[in-house]
A and B are shown apart, each in its own frame.
Chain A
Amino acid sequence: MHKVVIPIGPQHPALKEPESFSVTLSGEKIMKFSAKLGYNHRGIEKACEERTYTQDVYLTERICGICSHSHSTCFVQAVEEIAAVAVPKRALYIRTLIGELERIHSHLLWLGVAGHEVGFDTLLMYSWRDREVVMDILAMLTGNRVNYGINTIGGVRRDVSPEQAKQILKAMDTLEERTKYYIQIATEETTLIQRLSGVGVLSNKDALKLGAVGPTARASGVDRDVRRDDPYAAYAEVKFKVITDNHNDVYGRTLVRMGELMEAYSIIRQIINNMPDGPVAVKVPRKIPAGEAVSRYEAPRGEDLHYVKANGTEKPERVKVRAPTLANIQTVAKMLEDRQLADLPIVIAAIDPCFSCTDRLTGVRQQGKRSKNVMRWEDLHSYSIKYYQEHGIDFTDLNKKLAKLLK
C-alpha cells in the first residue's frame, strides 16, 4: 500500500505541548514514528550558571509545571550534599509529604487526561474534581497549587501545624475512597479495559534496553523505584510497596498509577503520624565549596536526575537536568510500531509527558460579609498595583516614561 507521511505538531490540537512528530502510515497502520523535541527548550541549565544557588532553587522549580517539587528537591539535595549540610529530619519529612501530595495530584491529572484521550470524559470530570481536594491541601500548606516554593537549601520554608496535619489525614480518607472507586472502574468497566489493553505495548526487554523510567517501566515489569533503591528525604523510614505490573500496555500503566495512589495515601499517613519535632531548616552559607554531586528523585513520571558542580562561589559551575520524559519519549516509537493511528494520542499520553495547568479563578471573601466576590483579571491587576503601592513599590512614573518611549 502507498505510504503517507503525516506531520503532527509542533502546534496541533491533539498535543498539549509543542513537540513535532512525524508518522509514516500504510493505510491506518503506523510504519515509522519519529519525534523532534526541543520546542520548549528555555536554556535553564545555562541560566542556572548565571544565578546564585538560592535563585536556582526557584528556577529549577519552574522546569516543570507538575513535578515542580521534584525538580527543586532534586536540586537542593545535590547542593546540600556538596556543602555537607545536615538537613533537619522534620524538613526531610515535610519534603516527602509535599512530594507524595504532588504524586497524587499528578496521577489524578493523568487519569483525567487518559480518560479524555479515549473518549471517556466522565472520568476526566470525576478525577479532576477529586484532584481539587489535593490541590487545596497543597495550597493550604504552601500557598500555591503548583511551584510550591517550599524547598530551600538546608531545609524547608514552612512548617506543618497540627491542624493542617488533621486536614491532610481527612483529605487522604476522601481520596482513598475515591481511588478505590477508580480502581473498581479500571478493573471492571469492560469498555475501558478493552480500549486500553494491548495498546502501546512495551515488552520488558525493550523497557530495559531503551532505559524507560517510572510507571512506564514498572508497567512492563521493571521493578525499579528510586524511593526504595536510592532512598532520599524520609523514604528510608516509611514502608511502601513498589507497584509493578506485567500487562506491558496502557492498561498496565493505568493500574500502576492507581496502585501508586493507594501507596501515596499510606506514605502520607505514616509521615504525618511519625513526623519528628524540631527545626525545619538550617542556615547554609551563600558560597558552596567546590565539589560535585548526583542527585536522584522518583518524580511522578519517573526518575529525575540532577548533576551539580560547584566551584566555591555563590553560583554553580554546572547544573545538568535529566527529566523523566526524555528517558521515556524514546520508548514511544517502539510502542507505536505496527499500531493504529487512532492509538497515537493515548499511547503518547500514557507515558504522561509533562504539561502545566495553573489557570485558576480567585474567590475572595470580604471580612464581615457573607457574599463572595469573584475577582476578574482586571480586578486582580488593579488589586496588585494597589497592594504594591501601599507597600512602597510604585511603578506609575516608570510606566509613564515607558509609554512615552514607545510613542
Chain B
Amino acid sequence: MTKEPDIQNSLIKKFGFLEGKIRIPRERRIFADAAPENFATIIEYAMKDLSFTMLCTITGLDEGATLGFLYHLAREDGIMLSIKLNIDKNNPVIKTITGYFPGADIYERELMDLLGAKVEGLPEGRRYPLSDDWPVGDYPLRKDWKKQEGANNA
C-alpha cells in the first residue's frame, strides 16, 4: 500500500485545506471531505492529474442539519476516492459535474428526487426514479420523511 498515501500527499500539496480531512480506512479506499467553493477544482484535479477517470455513483445522505453527498471516483488500479460535500439542508444546492462525467446525469437526478437536492446546471430532463405523480416536496430518503397513511408498509 504505497499509492494511497501518495495520492493523499498530492491532494494535500495541491489543496492545503484538505490537511487532516483525508482518511485511508483500508487498501484501495480513500475518503476526503471537501467544501463547496473548491469542490469543482478537486474533482477536476482528481480526474485529470490523479487518473480517477471513473465516476461509480453519487451517494446522498441525510445528516441532520446538512445533506451529505459522496462522489465515488475510481481508478483503473482499483483505488477509490470518495469526496464528500456537506450542504445546508435548507438550501441544498450543488453544481452538476456532468461537464466532467456525462454519466453523472442520472445519479444527480436521483439525488433531486430522493433527497431534494438542487442541482445547478443540469439540463431539463425526465425525473428519476420516482413517478410523475409523486407529491412535490416529498423526499423519501430524508430522515424526517413519513409514509403517507394507507401506503403499504415499506
Contacts and interface: CB of A to CB of B under 8 A. Distances in A.
B140 A43 contact: yes
B129 A37 contact: yes
Contact of A211 (B54, B60, B127): B54
A47 interface: yes
B86 interface: no
Contacts of B140: 43, 46
Given A46-B140, A307-B59, A322-B56, A38 B128 contact: yes
A35 B57 CA distance: 19
B34 to A, nearest CB: 16
A209 B102 CA distance: 7
B25 interface: yes
Interface residues of A, number: 39
Given A37-B128, A38-B129, A47 B154 contact: yes
Contacts of B29: 293-294
B72 A226 contact: no
Most buried by B among A209, A291, A322: A322
B106 interface: yes
A251 B76 CA distance: 25
A130 interface: no
A236 B46 CA distance: 27
Nearest to B110: A326
- Where chain A touches its partner, the secondary structure class is mixed
Most buried by A among B25, B26, B28, B154: B154
A330 interface: yes
A335 B76 CA distance: 24
A343 interface: no
Nearest to B25: A293
Contact of B59 (A36, A209, A318, A330): A318
A211 B103 contact: yes
Interface residues on B, range: 35 or more
A305 B57 contact: yes
A229 B78 CA distance: 5
Contacts of A34: 126
Nearest to B113: A38
A315 interface: no
A98 B69 CA distance: 34
Interface in B117-143: 126-131, 140-141
Given A211-B54, A211-B103, A326-B57, 15 more contacts: A34-B126, A36-B128, A38-B128, A38-B129, A38-B130, A38-B131, A43-B154, A46-B141, A229-B77, A230-B28, A292-B31, A293-B25, A309-B61, A320-B57, A330-B102
Interface of A: 34-38, 41, 43, 45-47, 50, 81, 208-211, 223-224, 226, 229-231, 291-294, 296, 303, 305, 307, 309, 317-318, 320, 322, 326-327, 329-330
